[in-house]
A and B are shown apart, each in its own frame.
Chain A
């Protein structure tokens, strides 16, 4: 398994040959997975591949029928489940949702809502939120708890494209700032977050794993998700600038400016991810893989200069 060697000793959760069986059928089996502090692991796979099941094994919601799962002592988990249905009869504001599993300090609560971009929805009832707003609220709730391990089951579902990029940027930022480990699930193969250290391909078992670059090139991945010619690509993002810690912007052409604007001549297309560029270069052949239908809706942000 590929991971930064410095983080190897601080394992937050590890699955060894873990499997879970329901009604005589193995939902997943033989999963080996280790997640360390500061590491981002993304699970991908088709529907029914056992992604959510694997995540639930990792956080202890499900107990393995085979193999073992170990979590660090006193591990604080922040969880964004894939599906939530809140009955209309329950009056629940975003603010109350934030306090759902434990009391939060006011500053943490406000900062988390600010970070996900919904400070104005604090008093709104969750039943009135749009899908994307609700996802942001759930993410805010999970990060405000300052967890050691963030488990995000399709955290950007229903979020618009620009918001998706911003939230992925935020997730990477949280990892960098707090050093928490992040286990993420994505069925959207077009968008595995930049900054992911390891991608694990699941289809009832672990098909392949590695850096995003390595996985997208592997035969197993292609067998599972089709040939790259079909428009599937792990990275369609072109990070043309980086936000420096002091707020200035380093552009790909080497220049540094105070702000970034689409029209300042330094940009080459894509919306950016903040400060999470840790060496995932684009693949030859994937660089312009904008056959993605989603791009049609994303507007001019994607027009290459």
Chain B
């Protein structure tokens, strides 16, 4: 079964979507969408460094993403520039430096498009193993850190005062995000990773009565988008990564339709609201 490239792509995509569901919810709640984007863009710098120093690609991308997020935290603490300006600077300069470095290395020929937009149809069995093991690790960590993460999303001070150590939770959260970006790069590409984090989470919002339900629903909707996108790309012969994102967007738009939303919301909340 795994011999078929399409089945491999499906397995890889679904595994990734299940991971990005809860992580994406936290990104959305914490208003860190642009932050995620910045980390993802820095992945290209990771690619370039990995080629230059001939080190493991995954490790290099993870390392650069972590470094960028730590740098950002440090710069924010100095309170010189606003957060979104800092993000804009880091996001595009890491991407640009990555592109320039790759161009310098005339001895390597790489498929830039594959890095930018993903190449899910080329995933190997090892990649699938990596996605599912890495994904299980990420989800496991999120389950363990769930209470401090949700509490500090509501209020950092409150979580701190009541002994939940939100600072540590945030650090882990960023490491997990860097890990997911490193894993996801091959599937949907640097430029589209954040879409897989944010769109399913935003779609799930309307049908969720609790943070936990939203996290689970985001995973399922993400998986649905992967399946829909891949079949669509097979039918219409379109690039697979962007097709997945388009499928996710279609689900999001569908969730905005009043009648559908109402019906689903009622089934999602059988106990109903008293207000």
Q: A interface vs B, CB < 8 Å?
A: 23, 56, 59-61, 77-79, 81, 84, 86-87, 89-93, 96-97, 100-102, 120-125, 128, 145, 151
Contacts and interface: CB of A to CB of B under 8 A. Distances in A.
Contacts of B210: 91-93, 96
Contact of B154 (A84, A89, A145): A84
Contact of B157 (A56, A86, A120): A56
Interface of A is mostly: loop
Nearest to A52: B157
A140 to B, nearest CB: 14
Interface of B: 28-31, 79, 147, 150-151, 153-155, 157-164, 201-202, 205, 208-211, 213-214, 271-275
B161 A77 contact: yes
B162 A79 contact: yes
Contacts of A61: 157, 160-161
Q: Name the residue in B160, B162, B202 with the highest tally of chain A Cβ atoms < 10 Å from its Cβ.
A: B162
Contacts of B273: 123-125
Contacts of A56: 157, 161
Given A77-B162, A79-B162, A92 B155 contact: no
A86 B209 contact: no
Given A87-B29, A125-B273, A97 B154 contact: yes
A87 B211 contact: no
B158 A89 contact: no
Nearest to B156: A61
Contacts of B160: 59-61
A90 B274 CA distance: 19
A133 to B, nearest CB: 10
B197 to A, nearest CB: 13
B232 to A, nearest CB: 27
A90 B30 CA distance: 9
Contact of A89 (B29, B147, B151, B164): B29
Given A79-B157, A81-B158, A100 B150 contact: yes
Contact of B161 (A60, A84, A86, A96): A60
B184 to A, nearest CB: 21
A124 B273 CA distance: 6
Contacts of B272: 123
Given A77-B161, A87-B31, A92 B274 contact: no
Contacts of A123: 271-274
Given A84-B155, A91-B214, A101 B147 contact: yes
Contacts of B31: 87
B271 to A, nearest CB: 7
Q: Name the residue in A23, A77, A89, A92 with the highest tally of chain B Cβ atoms < 10 Å from its Cβ.
A: A89
Contacts of A90: 29, 153-154, 211, 214
A154 to B, nearest CB: 14
Given A87-B28, A121-B275, A125-B273, 5 more contacts: A77-B162, A91-B210, A122-B274, A124-B274, A145-B162
